[in-house]
Amino acid sequence: MKRLVGALLCLNLILSVSTSVFANSEADDGWLASTEGDYLVKAIPTAPLVAGQKGPETNQLMLTFQSIAGQPVSLLEFTATDFVPFMPTMGHGTVATHQVDLGFGEENQALVKQIYFTMATMAAHGWVIYLDVNLDGLSNRFEIPVIVGM
């Protein structure tokens, strides 16, 4: 039994590390609609996301926004009002010891840096980032599933 449990834990680690470059698997093209249905976002990690103290050094997500019709959205009138990494099945988020740094890339892109995750994704326990934004005067919430390795 101990070997089986050890093998399953090892397999979980291998799968979470090998797939951690995929931020979301909601749709084939990676676009996620806001809960209000006004905008789409695609979240791509710049490197595999990792848990623990080393995470904020490398954890970055490039967020690309577009209208629900598929047109790029200008971020001139963009504010992120909330960015919360949360693990729904465990009922907790991450510790607030690290600040998230939001910068801008192309016209419709924002780069989120210094993201801290307390633990890696495990089987039924995955991370979701709740992102609340104001775009062109409209408030929208995105729920972005991410895979975090060790």
pLDDT tens for residues 4-51?
A: 334 333 333 333 333 333 343 344 589 999 999 999 999 999 999 999
Is 108:65 a contact under the CB 8 Å cutoff? Answer: yes
Residue 122 is predicted with a pLDDT of 87
Percent of the chain clearing pLDDT 90 (strictly above): 43
What is the 8-class DSSP label of residue 109? E
Structural domain spans, the chain? 2-146
The helix or strand, by DSSP H or E, that contains position 118, with its residue range, turns out to be none
Residue 83: count of CB within 10 angstroms of its CB: 18
pTM of the predicted model as reported, rounded to 2 decimal places: 0.76
Residue 66: is its pLDDT beyond 50? yes
> Under CATH, to which class is 2-146 assigned?
mainly beta
